[in-house]
Amino acid sequence: MEAVLEQVGQLPALLAVSRSALVRDWDSLTLDRALEWARYFQHLHDRFRTRPRLREALGRRLRRGQPSPLLGFPHLGRCPQLLGLALLENRALPHAACRRLLRSLLQPSGEEAGPEPHSLALLARRKAASRLLALPRGPPRPPEGLEPQVQAEAQLLLSRLREEGEEAEPVGEAAGRLTWLSGVLEQLPQPRAFEVVAAVLLLVRQGSGAEQAEDRGQDGNSLSGSQASATGDEYAAGPLFTWLLGNLGRFSAFCLFLPGSLLASLAGRHSQFSRPYLDLLTVWGSHLLYDPLKGQWVKSCLDKAELSWEELRERFTCLCQGSALLRGQTQAALKLLKAQDGDFKVRGLSVWTDLLMEVEEYLRKAAER
Protein backbone atom coordinates (compact mmCIF):
# COMPACT_ATOMS: atom_id res chain seq x y z
CA MET A 1 0.00 0.00 0.00
CA GLU A 2 2.92 2.32 0.67
CA ALA A 3 4.01 1.95 -2.95
CA VAL A 4 0.51 2.90 -4.13
CA LEU A 5 0.54 5.96 -1.89
CA GLU A 6 3.89 7.04 -3.32
CA GLN A 7 2.52 6.63 -6.84
CA VAL A 8 -0.60 8.66 -6.06
CA GLY A 9 1.62 11.37 -4.62
CA GLN A 10 3.01 11.92 -8.13
CA LEU A 11 -0.37 13.03 -9.56
CA PRO A 12 0.01 16.76 -8.65
CA ALA A 13 3.41 16.77 -10.37
CA LEU A 14 2.00 15.06 -13.46
CA LEU A 15 -0.79 17.62 -13.79
CA ALA A 16 1.62 20.50 -13.13
CA VAL A 17 3.98 19.30 -15.89
CA SER A 18 1.04 18.89 -18.30
CA ARG A 19 0.28 22.60 -17.88
CA SER A 20 3.90 23.74 -18.21
CA ALA A 21 6.28 24.45 -21.07
CA LEU A 22 8.09 21.14 -20.35
CA VAL A 23 5.66 19.30 -22.62
CA ARG A 24 7.41 20.84 -25.66
CA ASP A 25 9.89 17.94 -25.33
CA TRP A 26 7.21 15.25 -25.24
CA ASP A 27 7.01 12.74 -28.05
CA SER A 28 4.20 10.24 -28.68
CA LEU A 29 5.80 7.66 -26.40
CA THR A 30 6.01 10.12 -23.49
CA LEU A 31 2.39 11.11 -24.05
CA ASP A 32 1.29 7.46 -24.03
CA ARG A 33 3.07 6.90 -20.71
CA ALA A 34 1.36 9.94 -19.19
CA LEU A 35 -2.04 8.72 -20.37
CA GLU A 36 -1.30 5.25 -18.98
CA TRP A 37 -0.58 6.80 -15.58
CA ALA A 38 -3.86 8.72 -15.78
CA ARG A 39 -5.78 5.52 -16.54
CA TYR A 40 -3.98 3.79 -13.68
CA PHE A 41 -5.06 6.51 -11.24
CA GLN A 42 -8.63 6.15 -12.54
CA HIS A 43 -8.37 2.40 -11.89
CA LEU A 44 -7.28 3.08 -8.30
CA HIS A 45 -10.32 5.30 -7.83
CA ASP A 46 -12.69 2.61 -9.09
CA ARG A 47 -10.97 -0.01 -6.94
CA PHE A 48 -10.96 1.90 -3.64
CA ARG A 49 -14.05 4.14 -3.90
CA THR A 50 -16.09 1.83 -1.64
CA ARG A 51 -13.35 1.50 1.02
CA PRO A 52 -13.54 4.63 3.22
CA ARG A 53 -10.25 4.14 5.10
CA LEU A 54 -8.22 3.68 1.93
CA ARG A 55 -10.06 6.56 0.27
CA GLU A 56 -9.11 8.83 3.14
CA ALA A 57 -5.48 7.67 3.06
CA LEU A 58 -5.21 8.34 -0.66
CA GLY A 59 -6.86 11.74 -0.25
CA ARG A 60 -4.40 12.69 2.51
CA ARG A 61 -1.48 11.65 0.33
CA LEU A 62 -2.75 13.77 -2.55
CA ARG A 63 -3.04 16.83 -0.33
CA ARG A 64 0.40 16.43 1.25
CA GLY A 65 2.80 19.17 0.22
CA GLN A 66 0.26 21.16 -1.77
CA PRO A 67 -0.05 24.88 -0.94
CA SER A 68 -3.79 24.33 -0.59
CA PRO A 69 -5.88 21.12 -0.70
CA LEU A 70 -6.94 21.42 -4.34
CA LEU A 71 -6.85 17.70 -5.15
CA GLY A 72 -8.79 14.95 -3.42
CA PHE A 73 -9.75 11.33 -3.95
CA PRO A 74 -12.57 12.11 -6.49
CA HIS A 75 -9.98 13.64 -8.82
CA LEU A 76 -8.38 10.20 -9.30
CA GLY A 77 -11.54 9.10 -11.10
CA ARG A 78 -11.22 11.96 -13.58
CA CYS A 79 -7.48 11.74 -14.25
CA PRO A 80 -7.75 11.00 -18.01
CA GLN A 81 -10.08 13.97 -18.41
CA LEU A 82 -8.00 16.29 -16.21
CA LEU A 83 -4.79 15.38 -18.02
CA GLY A 84 -6.39 15.54 -21.47
CA LEU A 85 -7.94 18.94 -20.82
CA ALA A 86 -4.68 20.35 -19.44
CA LEU A 87 -2.74 19.16 -22.49
CA LEU A 88 -5.36 20.44 -24.94
CA GLU A 89 -5.06 23.88 -23.31
CA ASN A 90 -1.24 23.82 -23.47
CA ARG A 91 0.05 25.36 -26.68
CA ALA A 92 3.57 24.07 -25.96
CA LEU A 93 2.52 20.48 -26.74
CA PRO A 94 4.16 19.46 -30.05
CA HIS A 95 1.90 18.83 -33.03
CA ALA A 96 2.73 15.12 -33.23
CA ALA A 97 1.90 14.58 -29.56
CA CYS A 98 -1.25 16.68 -29.92
CA ARG A 99 -2.45 14.53 -32.83
CA ARG A 100 -1.69 11.43 -30.80
CA LEU A 101 -3.69 12.85 -27.89
CA LEU A 102 -6.68 13.64 -30.08
CA ARG A 103 -6.65 10.13 -31.55
CA SER A 104 -6.50 8.61 -28.08
CA LEU A 105 -9.45 10.73 -26.97
CA LEU A 106 -11.57 10.17 -30.05
CA GLN A 107 -10.71 6.48 -30.48
CA PRO A 108 -10.20 5.07 -26.98
CA SER A 109 -9.23 1.47 -26.50
CA GLY A 110 -11.92 -1.00 -25.56
CA GLU A 111 -10.98 -1.12 -21.89
CA GLU A 112 -11.06 2.67 -21.62
CA ALA A 113 -14.49 3.05 -23.17
CA GLY A 114 -16.27 0.78 -20.75
CA PRO A 115 -17.11 2.38 -17.39
CA GLU A 116 -17.90 5.97 -18.41
CA PRO A 117 -18.66 6.29 -22.14
CA HIS A 118 -19.99 9.81 -21.59
CA SER A 119 -16.77 11.20 -20.10
CA LEU A 120 -15.02 12.04 -23.37
CA ALA A 121 -18.12 13.69 -24.75
CA LEU A 122 -18.27 15.74 -21.55
CA LEU A 123 -14.61 16.69 -21.99
CA ALA A 124 -15.29 17.79 -25.58
CA ARG A 125 -18.27 19.90 -24.49
CA ARG A 126 -16.24 21.61 -21.80
CA LYS A 127 -13.40 22.31 -24.19
CA ALA A 128 -15.79 23.79 -26.76
CA ALA A 129 -17.51 25.85 -24.08
CA SER A 130 -14.20 27.18 -22.78
CA ARG A 131 -13.30 28.32 -26.31
CA LEU A 132 -16.68 29.96 -26.77
CA LEU A 133 -16.53 31.77 -23.44
CA ALA A 134 -13.04 33.06 -24.26
CA LEU A 135 -14.39 35.08 -27.20
CA PRO A 136 -14.43 38.89 -26.76
CA ARG A 137 -17.46 40.10 -24.85
CA GLY A 138 -19.74 42.87 -26.03
CA PRO A 139 -20.49 46.00 -24.01
CA PRO A 140 -21.69 45.32 -20.44
CA ARG A 141 -25.40 44.93 -19.94
CA PRO A 142 -27.60 45.31 -16.88
CA PRO A 143 -27.45 42.26 -14.60
CA GLU A 144 -31.22 41.74 -14.60
CA GLY A 145 -31.01 39.68 -17.83
CA LEU A 146 -28.09 37.43 -16.80
CA GLU A 147 -26.59 37.37 -20.29
CA PRO A 148 -26.10 34.03 -22.10
CA GLN A 149 -22.37 33.82 -21.36
CA VAL A 150 -23.04 34.08 -17.63
CA GLN A 151 -25.69 31.37 -17.90
CA ALA A 152 -23.27 29.12 -19.83
CA GLU A 153 -20.57 29.61 -17.20
CA ALA A 154 -23.14 28.82 -14.51
CA GLN A 155 -24.09 25.58 -16.27
CA LEU A 156 -20.43 24.53 -16.42
CA LEU A 157 -19.86 25.37 -12.78
CA LEU A 158 -23.01 23.55 -11.68
CA SER A 159 -22.00 20.43 -13.65
CA ARG A 160 -18.62 20.41 -11.92
CA LEU A 161 -20.14 20.93 -8.48
CA ARG A 162 -22.61 18.09 -9.09
CA GLU A 163 -19.76 15.77 -10.03
CA GLU A 164 -17.83 16.76 -6.92
CA GLY A 165 -20.91 16.06 -4.78
CA GLU A 166 -21.64 12.62 -6.24
CA GLU A 167 -19.47 10.92 -3.63
CA ALA A 168 -19.44 11.52 0.12
CA GLU A 169 -16.18 13.26 0.93
CA PRO A 170 -13.91 13.29 3.98
CA VAL A 171 -13.58 16.65 5.66
CA GLY A 172 -10.28 17.44 3.98
CA GLU A 173 -11.67 16.82 0.50
CA ALA A 174 -14.73 18.97 1.22
CA ALA A 175 -12.37 21.76 2.27
CA GLY A 176 -10.44 21.22 -0.94
CA ARG A 177 -13.64 21.59 -2.95
CA LEU A 178 -14.34 24.93 -1.28
CA THR A 179 -10.77 26.06 -1.91
CA TRP A 180 -11.11 25.09 -5.57
CA LEU A 181 -14.41 26.97 -5.84
CA SER A 182 -12.94 30.08 -4.22
CA GLY A 183 -10.03 29.97 -6.66
CA VAL A 184 -12.35 29.73 -9.65
CA LEU A 185 -14.62 32.57 -8.52
CA GLU A 186 -11.75 34.84 -7.51
CA GLN A 187 -10.34 34.63 -11.03
CA LEU A 188 -13.47 36.41 -12.28
CA PRO A 189 -14.15 40.11 -11.79
CA GLN A 190 -16.28 40.38 -8.66
CA PRO A 191 -19.50 41.53 -10.40
CA ARG A 192 -19.16 38.67 -12.90
CA ALA A 193 -18.57 36.14 -10.11
CA PHE A 194 -21.72 37.37 -8.35
CA GLU A 195 -23.76 36.90 -11.52
CA VAL A 196 -22.43 33.37 -12.03
CA VAL A 197 -23.14 32.36 -8.41
CA ALA A 198 -26.67 33.78 -8.63
CA ALA A 199 -27.28 31.95 -11.91
CA VAL A 200 -26.12 28.63 -10.43
CA LEU A 201 -28.35 29.06 -7.38
CA LEU A 202 -31.30 29.78 -9.67
CA LEU A 203 -30.59 26.56 -11.59
CA VAL A 204 -30.36 24.10 -8.70
CA ARG A 205 -33.33 22.17 -7.36
CA GLN A 206 -33.91 22.11 -3.63
CA GLY A 207 -35.15 19.19 -1.56
CA SER A 208 -37.52 21.47 0.37
CA GLY A 209 -39.19 24.84 0.05
CA ALA A 210 -42.13 26.47 -1.65
CA GLU A 211 -41.45 24.97 -5.08
CA GLN A 212 -41.28 21.44 -3.72
CA ALA A 213 -44.49 22.01 -1.78
CA GLU A 214 -46.20 23.08 -4.99
CA ASP A 215 -44.87 19.95 -6.73
CA ARG A 216 -46.38 17.77 -4.00
CA GLY A 217 -49.70 19.46 -4.45
CA GLN A 218 -49.72 18.77 -8.17
CA ASP A 219 -48.35 15.25 -8.10
CA GLY A 220 -47.92 13.20 -4.99
CA ASN A 221 -45.08 11.21 -6.55
CA SER A 222 -43.14 14.09 -8.05
CA LEU A 223 -41.06 14.76 -4.96
CA SER A 224 -39.86 11.18 -4.64
CA GLY A 225 -39.14 11.07 -8.37
CA SER A 226 -36.82 14.08 -8.17
CA GLN A 227 -35.35 13.31 -4.76
CA ALA A 228 -32.00 12.14 -6.11
CA SER A 229 -31.63 15.22 -8.29
CA ALA A 230 -32.59 17.51 -5.43
CA THR A 231 -30.08 15.88 -3.08
CA GLY A 232 -27.30 16.27 -5.66
CA ASP A 233 -28.12 19.93 -6.11
CA GLU A 234 -28.07 20.50 -2.36
CA TYR A 235 -24.46 19.26 -2.39
CA ALA A 236 -23.77 21.65 -5.28
CA ALA A 237 -25.37 24.64 -3.55
CA GLY A 238 -23.64 24.05 -0.21
CA PRO A 239 -20.14 25.27 -1.20
CA LEU A 240 -21.66 28.29 -2.95
CA PHE A 241 -23.51 29.36 0.19
CA THR A 242 -20.39 28.75 2.28
CA TRP A 243 -18.38 30.98 -0.06
CA LEU A 244 -21.08 33.65 -0.22
CA LEU A 245 -22.20 33.80 3.43
CA GLY A 246 -18.81 33.15 4.99
CA ASN A 247 -17.68 36.71 4.34
CA LEU A 248 -20.01 39.56 5.33
CA GLY A 249 -18.29 42.07 3.06
CA ARG A 250 -18.67 39.75 0.08
CA PHE A 251 -22.31 39.04 0.89
CA SER A 252 -23.06 42.75 1.26
CA ALA A 253 -21.41 43.50 -2.10
CA PHE A 254 -23.38 40.66 -3.69
CA CYS A 255 -26.68 42.09 -2.42
CA LEU A 256 -25.73 45.63 -3.42
CA PHE A 257 -24.75 44.71 -6.96
CA LEU A 258 -27.58 42.39 -7.99
CA PRO A 259 -31.09 43.76 -8.63
CA GLY A 260 -33.86 43.33 -6.07
CA SER A 261 -35.94 41.15 -8.38
CA LEU A 262 -33.10 38.62 -8.77
CA LEU A 263 -32.35 38.58 -5.05
CA ALA A 264 -36.06 38.04 -4.31
CA SER A 265 -36.01 35.02 -6.67
CA LEU A 266 -33.05 33.60 -4.74
CA ALA A 267 -34.80 34.23 -1.41
CA GLY A 268 -37.90 32.45 -2.70
CA ARG A 269 -35.89 29.40 -3.71
CA HIS A 270 -33.42 29.12 -0.84
CA SER A 271 -34.15 29.49 2.85
CA GLN A 272 -30.35 29.58 3.38
CA PHE A 273 -30.39 32.90 1.52
CA SER A 274 -33.67 34.52 2.60
CA ARG A 275 -32.88 34.82 6.31
CA PRO A 276 -29.39 36.37 5.93
CA TYR A 277 -30.75 38.67 3.22
CA LEU A 278 -33.53 39.94 5.48
CA ASP A 279 -31.01 40.39 8.29
CA LEU A 280 -28.79 42.46 5.99
CA LEU A 281 -31.72 44.63 4.87
CA THR A 282 -32.51 45.17 8.56
CA VAL A 283 -28.96 46.40 9.22
CA TRP A 284 -29.11 48.77 6.27
CA GLY A 285 -32.54 50.09 7.27
CA SER A 286 -31.39 50.76 10.82
CA HIS A 287 -28.74 53.13 9.47
CA LEU A 288 -31.27 55.44 7.81
CA LEU A 289 -32.18 58.72 9.53
CA TYR A 290 -35.25 60.86 9.00
CA ASP A 291 -34.56 64.34 7.65
CA PRO A 292 -37.52 66.56 8.67
CA LEU A 293 -36.44 69.35 6.31
CA LYS A 294 -36.54 67.02 3.30
CA GLY A 295 -39.38 64.94 4.70
CA GLN A 296 -37.63 61.68 3.81
CA TRP A 297 -35.24 59.02 5.10
CA VAL A 298 -31.58 59.55 4.25
CA LYS A 299 -28.33 57.67 4.75
CA SER A 300 -26.58 58.36 8.03
CA CYS A 301 -23.23 58.11 6.22
CA LEU A 302 -23.11 58.88 2.52
CA ASP A 303 -19.77 57.12 2.04
CA LYS A 304 -21.01 53.72 3.24
CA ALA A 305 -21.91 51.10 0.65
CA GLU A 306 -25.52 50.74 1.76
CA LEU A 307 -28.98 51.20 0.28
CA SER A 308 -30.91 54.44 0.11
CA TRP A 309 -34.54 54.67 1.27
CA GLU A 310 -35.81 54.24 -2.29
CA GLU A 311 -33.60 51.20 -2.89
CA LEU A 312 -34.56 49.62 0.43
CA ARG A 313 -38.25 50.11 -0.30
CA GLU A 314 -37.77 48.49 -3.71
CA ARG A 315 -36.01 45.45 -2.16
CA PHE A 316 -38.83 44.83 0.32
CA THR A 317 -41.44 45.32 -2.40
CA CYS A 318 -39.69 42.73 -4.58
CA LEU A 319 -39.72 40.24 -1.71
CA CYS A 320 -43.49 40.74 -1.38
CA GLN A 321 -43.94 40.03 -5.08
CA GLY A 322 -42.67 36.49 -4.59
CA SER A 323 -44.38 33.40 -3.23
CA ALA A 324 -47.01 33.59 -0.53
CA LEU A 325 -44.52 32.07 1.91
CA LEU A 326 -41.84 34.68 1.19
CA ARG A 327 -44.38 37.51 1.26
CA GLY A 328 -45.64 36.34 4.65
CA GLN A 329 -42.10 36.08 6.05
CA THR A 330 -41.26 39.58 4.82
CA GLN A 331 -44.38 41.17 6.27
CA ALA A 332 -43.89 39.33 9.56
CA ALA A 333 -40.30 40.59 9.77
CA LEU A 334 -41.40 44.19 9.13
CA LYS A 335 -44.18 43.97 11.71
CA LEU A 336 -41.76 42.64 14.32
CA LEU A 337 -39.25 45.40 13.59
CA LYS A 338 -42.02 48.00 13.76
CA ALA A 339 -43.15 46.68 17.16
CA GLN A 340 -39.58 46.64 18.49
CA ASP A 341 -39.07 50.23 17.30
CA GLY A 342 -42.06 51.64 19.20
CA ASP A 343 -45.00 50.42 17.11
CA PHE A 344 -45.70 53.91 15.76
CA LYS A 345 -48.74 54.48 13.57
CA VAL A 346 -47.62 57.65 11.77
CA ARG A 347 -44.87 58.25 9.25
CA GLY A 348 -41.50 59.78 9.96
CA LEU A 349 -40.87 58.21 13.36
CA SER A 350 -39.77 54.69 12.47
CA VAL A 351 -38.29 53.48 9.19
CA TRP A 352 -40.02 50.13 9.75
CA THR A 353 -43.44 51.73 10.15
CA ASP A 354 -42.91 53.62 6.91
CA LEU A 355 -41.64 50.57 5.04
CA LEU A 356 -44.53 48.43 6.24
CA MET A 357 -47.00 51.11 5.15
CA GLU A 358 -45.35 51.30 1.73
CA VAL A 359 -45.43 47.53 1.29
CA GLU A 360 -49.05 47.21 2.41
CA GLU A 361 -50.08 50.04 0.09
CA TYR A 362 -48.33 48.32 -2.81
CA LEU A 363 -50.05 45.00 -2.04
CA ARG A 364 -53.43 46.70 -1.77
CA LYS A 365 -53.01 48.39 -5.16
CA ALA A 366 -51.79 45.12 -6.72
CA ALA A 367 -54.87 43.30 -5.42
CA GLU A 368 -57.17 45.96 -6.92
CA ARG A 369 -55.72 45.60 -10.42
Sequence-ordered alpha helix ranges (H) in 72-205 = 73-76, 79-89, 95-106, 110-113, 119-133, 148-164, 171-186, 190-203
In tens, the pLDDT along 284-342 reads: 999 999 999 888 999 888 767 689 999 999 999 999 998 999 999 999 999 999 999 99
70 with 143: CB under 8 angstroms? no
What pLDDT score does 195 carry? 92
Distance CA 70, CA 174 (A): 10
222: pLDDT strictly greater than 60: no
For position 279, what pLDDT does the model report? 96
* Inter-residue contact 289 to 297 (CB < 8 Å): yes
Lowest mean pLDDT among 12-21, 44-53, 108-117, 189-198: 108-117
For helices 260-269 and 309-320, the axis angle rounded to 10 degrees is 40
Q: Which of 195-204, 274-283, 296-305 has the weakest average pLDDT?
A: 296-305
Of residues 275 and 173, the one with the higher pLDDT is: 275
Cβ(274)–Cβ(245) below 8 Å: no
Asked if 241 and 273 touch (Cβ cutoff 8 Å), the reply is: yes
Q: Identify which of 193, 204, 202, 194 has the alpha carbon closest to the alpha carbon of residue 165.
A: 204
Above 50 in pLDDT, residue 228?
Answer: no
Helix axes 324-340, 351-368, angle to 10 degrees: 150
pLDDT in tens, 48-103: 888 888 888 888 887 775 654 467 788 888 888 888 888 888 889 998 888 888 87
Pairing of strands 288-291, 296-299: antiparallel
Give the model's confidence band at 8: pLDDT under 50 very low, under 70 low, under 90 confident, else very high.
Answer: confident
Q: What is the mean pLDDT of residues 223-247?
A: 70
pLDDT reported for residue 129: 53
**What rounded mean pLDDT belongs to the chain?**
79
% the chain with pLDDT above 90: 36
185 neighbors 243 (Cβ within 8 angstroms): yes
